[in-house]
Structures are given as C-alpha cells and as structure tokens.
Chain A
C-alpha cells in the first residue's frame, strides 16, 4: 500500500514537472527543448575544445620530436665502435681550395670508402671529435669539430660586429631623431631586407660582393670569413633593428620628458636616457641576431669558401657547422658515422640556438618589463 502511493505520486508529479520544464524551455531564447539535440550540442562544444587544444599541442610536439629525432640520429656515435677511434690529430692539413663555394670534389665517393664499423674496442671518438682536423672523406676520416666551430664563431662575430652597431644606431635614429619621411623610407626598407631569401643574399655575396671586396682589399682568397660575415650581417640587421626599435619605442614617455624638462638636449636624452633604459631589449636583439647568424646556412654555404681551417685570419676561407651539414648531408651514406656526426653538429646547433632564445626570452624580457614597471 505504502509503496503503491509512492509510485502513484511519482507518476503524477513527473509529467507535471516535465511540462513545467518544457514550458520554461520554450521561453528560453535560442535553446532547443529537445534534450537529445542539446546533449549532442554540448558534445560538439566539448569536442571542438579538445580538438583545438590537441592541435595546439602540435608545436610543442614538434619541438619534442626535433629533440628526439635529431639526437637519435646523432646518438650512435657514443655507443657504436669504430676502428678509427684513436685517430691522432695530425698537423693541420689544408683542403685544396677550389675557388668555388663547392666544398670537396671527392664528397660523392662510393659507399665502400667506409667499412670500418667492425672493430670492437673503444667507444665514443671524443678525441677524434675534439680534434683540429675535419676530413670526413679520407682513408682515415677525421671528425674534428673544432675548425667548424671556429668557423661558425668567426663568421657570427664578423656579422654581429657589422650588424649590431648599424642596426642599433639606425633604430635609435628612427625612434628619436628621424623626421617622419625618413621613418617612412627606412621601415619598409628593413621589411624588404627581412624578406630577402637567404639564398639571394648568398648569391649576391658570391657573385658581386666577393669580387668587389677582393678588388678593394686585395686578399688572396675570393671567398672567406669576411665576405660571409658581411653578407650575413645583411640577414641579421632586420632582426636586431626590429627588436631594438621595439624596445626603444617602449621606453616610457615620462622618462624622456623628464630628461628634456631637466634641460637635456635631444641627443643627450637619446644617448643617456633612452638607450640605457632599453639596454635589456637591445641586448636581447643582439642575442637573437647571434642565434640567427649561427644557424644560418645558405649564406655561409655559398660565400665563405668552405675550407675547414683553424686560423684567426679574417680573410681566410672557413667552413661553418651549418654549411658542413648543408654541403655533406646530401652525399653521405645513411647510418654511417659521418652521417651521425652531421646530426651531432645539428643537435649542437639546435641546443645552442635554443639556449640563446631562452636566455633572450626569459631573462632579458623579464628584466625589461620589471624596469619599465618601476623596479
């Protein structure tokens, strides 16, 4: 009896309740009272969000995959064993310089040239890797990375020494002194320069700049670190300029106005107030410029002569890390030690630029923000 009434009650109240709900739903704009429809509707919303979030992770996944796969191909160096472990670092042997940017004529040799993977003793050829000779294609291959590193370092430094002052001064010019017409000319010019494909800059350096500079300065190798560095500065200027200009423009007006109100002239304000205030940003700009120059391939591949020398001379041909990968990877045997070493160079480049970017990003930007928000 008791249970009967409860059933009755519930069967009575339910229709009433649902009627009330329907009534309510009918008066709600833009909502269907159909529950099935509403449920699917929410599901699509859920799906859209999850899908979008998932796809947004692609960038992250790519970074991770780059890490994994570039290192994976480099890793065998450290556990495979080779006969040529204790390759003695010999007297520096200059590669014959061919006068063109094409590295070695002998690169496209037969695969048999390296059949040394049989030996049992020794592991990583650290000694070999730290050597002063880069001769990957020879009877006794030498993978000394030092000349390549020195080459990259030299070209990067030359590029930065040209690009940084020019770009920073030009940025200072546009942000403080320049009349409007000068800004309207310079800014598009920078955008144009930023849009130059690096292969075009390399072409220009190779065909025009190299001969021009040789006539002007009279050095013996037409293609060398100086030409490469100078050409590279063209690729780096837009980066440094853009970021430096941004941070100069971000200096609070109050600072400049205070300086001007104290009787400082325009140039004094620019040099002693605006520039110091924007230092972290300018520093970040230079760091990013270094990162770009270090990793840039086509310009150095075409304009530096590509001979792996160890020297301090500005006008000697050099072979950079990136150019080595670009020149040799296409002709190398997959899975070969040479192949692995090229990937090792790639991972070094990757880690180096990553570190530079992270430093520029976190440390410097944070400091800049802190400074402008009042210590």
Chain B
C-alpha cells in the first residue's frame, strides 16, 4: 500500500514536471529556431536598407523607423493618461467608492478587449468619425486627409490598447511608496497634490518607466490594431507627417510570411525580420522585468 502510494506520488510529480518541461521546450525551441534562422541575414545593411525587388531583398529600415514612431507617439498619449489614472486610483479614490470601482472595471475590461476590436474601433471612431469630421470641417466634403488610415490614428489606437498596461504597472509601483513618507509629507503641512508631486511621483518613477517600457513592448508586438488603421504594405520612404501611412515590423512579418510570392526565396530575410522584432520586444521586456525587480526589492527592504 505504501509502496503504491509512493509510485503514484512519483508519477504525479513527474507529470507536473513534464508539463513544465513542455513549456520550456516550446519556448526554447521557438527561440532557437528563430535565432538560428535569422542570424545570418542580420547585418547592418539589412537593418539600414530599404526593401527592394518586391520585398524579396533589401532591408527593413522603414519598418524599424515606423515601429519606433508608432511606439513614441503611442507613449506620448498612453503614459501620461495611464499615470494620471493610476494616481487617481491609488491616491484619490477610496477603495470602496463606486467611481473607483467603475474605473477599475473599465481598466480590466479594456485589458481583455481583443486587439482586433481595437482595430475596428480605430477605424470606426478615429478614421471614420474624428478623421472624416476634421476633413469635412477643414477641407470640404470630398477631400480626404485625416479620414484615412495614418500613423496618428494607428498610434492612438495602440495607445488605448496599452493604457491598462501602464495603469496596472504604475499603480503597483505607487503601492510600494511607504505610508510613512506620505504621512510625513502631510504632517509637514503639504497638501495632497503637493505630496503626490514631491513624494509619490518621484518615488514611483521606476514604476512609470516600467509601465512605459511594457506598453512599448506590447505596442511593438501587436499587429491586429494597425492592420487597417495605418500600416502600409510597402512604402520605400519614411512617413513625413502624422497623416502618412507607415511600415511596421510586425505587420511586415505578417505580410511577408503570408503574401510573399515565393516564401522560400524570402525565408532568410523573413527570419531576420522576425528576429529583430523578437529581440526588440525581449530587450524591452527584460529591462522592464529588471526595473520591476528593483522596485520589489525596495519594497521588501
């Protein structure tokens, strides 16, 4: 009896360990495959060149710049709004207030909305409603400048998608600000806003940075929201203004792997593009993890 129980016990542990091993294997295999497949083509010329020969040769410079612009414009909107929302949730709202609960529910919901629905929203709201509205006001009935996909609407759509990421991260950081610090500030006669400005915000700066980085990483990796809000199939030049379309790394991977006339011929640069995207998101994620780790360490100290 005891013997059998031991056997079952070992089996249980083994099965769970096996599940963990499967995950490790999947992650490792995927990374290794992409790394080995893309390593050769990853040259300086590739990073700084323009796609040529119908995207079967050349580099991905416009896609890199497009991705960069996308995440920068996105952050300009999502980081401040997310930070302020986090300030409200952690500093102003009481845990039980209906308003705070409502906002919290909205943030959670926003985090769960599928990326493609954000894309639809970007199309329906930013392009069709706001963009067309601006055009009708400024340019008259039939001209289109803002009422079509461009980098501004794509970035704004992405900003909404990444908003919950920023909020959650910043709020977590604000929770680590010791209560003593806040109380000391109040005891010195500082008001709430002064306390936030001078005590809470400087203290949670790393958290804001983490949130921003995570948002950028998410934004750089998502393709669905920009499918029809601004990403271009092929543009040899860089976007000149906010009303231009742009190339983006993830979208480029999607286009090249599904609509290339000859997948075998483009395999090398396809892998290399994927590798660039992957390295970019990893770099961002790891710095975010590192920063968060530092914040947590400070909290436990």
Q: Which A residues lie at the B interface, using CB under 8 A?
A: 29-31, 41, 44-45, 48-49, 51-53, 55-60, 62-63, 65-66, 69-70, 72-73, 100-102, 165-170, 172-174, 177-178, 182, 185-186, 188-193, 195-204, 206-208, 234, 237, 241, 265-268, 270-271, 288, 291-292, 294-298, 301-302, 322, 325-326, 329-330, 334, 342-343, 346, 349-350, 353-354, 356-358, 361
Q: Is the CB of B176 closer than 8 A to any CB of chain A?
A: no
Instruction: Give complex CA distance A353, B113 in Å.
Output: 7
Q: List 12 A-B contacts (CB under 8 A).
A: A56-B103, A59-B85, A62-B160, A165-B19, A169-B19, A193-B27, A198-B115, A201-B30, A208-B33, A296-B114, A325-B120, A346-B120
Q: Is the CB of B278 within 8 A of A206?
A: no
Chain B residues with CB under 8 A of A203: 253-254, 257, 270, 274
8 Å CB interface, B92-109 against A: 92-93, 99, 102-103, 105-109
- B287 → A minimal CB distance (Å): 12
In the complex, the answer to whether A170 meets B23 with C-beta atoms within 8 Å is: yes
Q: How far, in whole Å, are A44 and B107 apart by their CA atoms in the complex?
A: 27
* Nearest CB on B from A23, distance (A): 18
Docked-complex contact B221 and A198, CB < 8 angstroms: yes
Q: How far is the CA of A195 from the CA of B217 in the complex (A)?
A: 8
Query: Looking at chain B, what size class is its interface with the partner chain?
Result: 35 or more
Q: How far is the CB of B289 from chain A (nearest CB, A)?
A: 6
Let me know if A200 and B26 touch, CB within 8 A.
no
Which among B8-16, B47-55, B203-211 touches the partner chain? B8-16
By the criterion CB–CB under 8 Å, are A334 and B257 in contact? Answer: no
- What residues on A are CB-neighbors of B34 within 8 Å? 200, 204
Contact present for A59 and B20 (CB under 8 Å): no
Q: Contact check, B23 vs A186: say whether CB atoms are below 8 A apart.
A: yes
- Compute how far the CA of A228 lies from the CA of B82 in the bound complex, rounded to whole angstroms: 34
CB of B9 within 8 A of CB of A267, answer yes
Partner of A186 from the list B24, B120, B128 (CB cut-off 8 Å) is B24
Contact segment of B68-76, B134-142, B185-193: B185-193
Q: B39 contacts the other chain (Cβ, under 8 Å)?
A: no
Q: Looking at chain B's contact residues, is the secondary structure mostly helix, strand, loop, or mixed? A: helix
* CB-contact partner of A265 in B9, B22, B24, under 8 A: B9
Alpha-carbon distance between A351 and B259 when the two chains are bound, in angstroms: 31
Q: Using a Cβ cutoff of 8 Å, how many contacts connect chains A and B?
A: 275
Q: Contact between A52 and B84 (Cβ–Cβ < 8 Å)?
A: yes
Going nearest first, the 3 A-B pairs with the smallest beta carbon separation are A295-B114, A197-B221, A169-B19
Given pairs A203-B274, A354-B109, 17 additional interface contacts (CB within 8 A): A30-B189, A48-B193, A55-B88, A56-B103, A59-B85, A167-B19, A170-B22, A185-B24, A186-B20, A189-B23, A189-B27, A199-B221, A207-B270, A268-B9, A330-B227, A349-B114, A349-B116
Contact at B84–A102, with CB atoms within 8 Å?
no
A56 near B258: Cβ-Cβ < 8 Å: no
Given known A-B contacts A45-B191, A267-B8, A353 and B114 have beta carbons under 8 A apart: yes
Give Cα distance in the complex from A185 to B31, angstroms. Answer: 15
Asked if A65 and B121 make an inter-chain contact with CB atoms under 8 angstroms apart, the answer reads yes
- A102 and B85 CA atoms in complex are apart in Å by 41
Residue pair B281, A197 in contact (C-beta under 8 Å)? yes
A92 to B45 alpha-carbon distance, docked (Å): 50
Decide: B116 and A58 in contact? CB cutoff 8 A. no
> How far, in Å, is A93 (CB) from chain B's closest CB?
23
Report yes or no: A59 in contact with B167, Cβ–Cβ below 8 A: yes
Contact of A326 among B99, B116, B160 (CB under 8 A): B116
Residues of B with C-beta under 8 A to A198: 115, 221-224
- In the complex, the answer to whether B282 meets A59 with C-beta atoms within 8 Å is no
Q: Are A196 and B9 in contact (CB under 8 A)?
A: no
Whether, in the assembled complex, B220 has its beta carbon less than 8 Å from a beta carbon of chain A, the answer is yes
Please tell me if the beta carbons of A346 and B117 are within 8 angstroms of each other in the complex.
yes
Contact between B120 and A343 (Cβ–Cβ < 8 Å)? yes
Chain A contacts for B24, CB-based, 8 A: 185-186, 189
Q: Is the CB of B258 within 8 A of A170?
A: no
B89 within 8 A of A: yes
**Given A48-B193, A199-B277, also A291-B112 (CB < 8 A):** yes
User: What's the Cα separation between A191 and B17 when bound, in Å?
Assistant: 18
* A166 pairs with B85, CB closer than 8 A: no
Query: Among residues 138 to 168 in chain B, which have CB atoms less than 8 Å away from a CB atom of chain A?
Result: 160, 163-164, 167
Query: Is B123 in contact with A329, judged by CB distance below 8 angstroms?
Result: yes
B252 to A, closest residue via Cβ: A199
Chain B residue at smallest Cβ distance from A230: B26
Bound CA–CA A342/B81 (angstroms) = 30
Complex Cα spacing A190 to B26, Å:
10
